[in-house]
Amino acid sequence: MNPEKLLNVIKQAREGAKKRNFTQSFDLIVHLKELDLKKPEQQIEFFLKLPNSKGRTNKVCAFVGPELLDEAKKCCDGVYREMDFASYVKDKKGAKKISMQYDVFIAQANLMGKVAAAFGRILGPRGKMPSPKSGAVIPPKGNVKAVVENMKNTIKFSAKQRLTSHVPIGSESMKDEQVKENIENFYKTLVNVLPGRENNVKLITLKLTMGKSIQIE
């Protein structure tokens, strides 16, 4: 990616969006090619902590036992105790409500079976199940605060069913240089996990929430 051209794309994205009474986010729309997603080894998924904030920090919810309960209450936006899980096994409506309230879920490692039983059918299809890949599964003596701080600015990119996916990469309140750094960091990570590197990238565009998509060359 050419830094000057990228800054120009960010400028065009800003100019192509009408002012709204809320802070719009910058989103990347990534189109991949020459991947057979029926083969697990060609399905792409990764988690990335951006060098700059993406504008709005993720709301983090924890599923924990007594070992991590007190620390989780201090630093998480929501906490559900082990003793609460059973009531959500049959309460699909309640589990769905929880899934919509938070962006990221973390869980105590030895409770993952119970978390899956109570919330897996709701969180799984939404791509929100606590994942060891992202560091969201914590041992009973783990550091909850450190995990939460990491999760607040972590984004997830997934191309497991479709070759097109989008990720939030910043907000209009950020400086252009900060948005550029986030995009460059994301692109470097993406290329490194693709089997064909740049050859698997068909097209990437950038847009504000209510704006036009601008192609990144």
Average pLDDT over the chain, rounded to an integer: 93
Query: Is the domain of 66 the same as that of 146?
Result: yes
Query: Is the domain of 74 the same as that of 136?
Result: yes
Query: Is the domain of 86 the same as that of 169?
Result: no
Assign residue 100 the CATH number of its domain. 3.40.50.790
Among 151, 175, 197, give the residue marking a domain's end: 151
Query: Is the domain of 46 the same as that of 32?
Result: yes
Query: Is the domain of 80 the same as that of 47?
Result: no
Please state whether beta strands 154-159 and 214-216 pair in parallel, antiparallel, or not at all (unpaired): unpaired
Integer Cα distance of 173 and 217 in angstroms: 24
Model pLDDT for residues 83-131, shown as the tens digit of each residue: 999 999 989 999 999 999 999 999 999 999 999 999 999 999 998 999 8
Domain count for the chain: 2
- The pLDDT-based confidence of 158 (bands split at 50, 70, 90) is very high
Integer Cα distance of 95 and 120 in angstroms: 9
The confidence score (pLDDT) of residue 172 equals 92
- The pLDDT-based confidence of 133 (bands split at 50, 70, 90) is confident
Among 102, 125, 151, give the residue marking a domain's end: 151
Query: Is the domain of 123 the same as that of 142?
Result: yes
Number of Cβ within a 10 Å radius of residue 29: 16
Sheet holding 137-138, edge to edge: 78-81, 60-64, 104-108, 137-138
Q: How many Cα atoms are found within 13 Å in the side-chain-facing hemisphere of 61?
A: 20
Please enumerate in sequence order all residues whose Cβ is within 8 A of that of 160, keeping only pairs 6 or more positions apart, or say none: 37, 43, 44, 45
Query: Is the domain of 77 the same as that of 122?
Result: yes
Query: Is the domain of 103 the same as that of 178?
Result: no
Model pLDDT for residues 10-24, shown as the tens digit of each residue: 999 998 888 888 889
- pLDDT above 90 (res 182): yes
Query: Is the domain of 108 the same as that of 183?
Result: no
pTM: 0.82
Secondary structure element (H or E) that encloses residue 101, with its range: helix 92-101
Query: Is the domain of 79 the same as that of 145?
Result: yes
Among 109, 131, 151, give the residue marking a domain's end: 151
**Domain boundaries, position 120:** 60-151
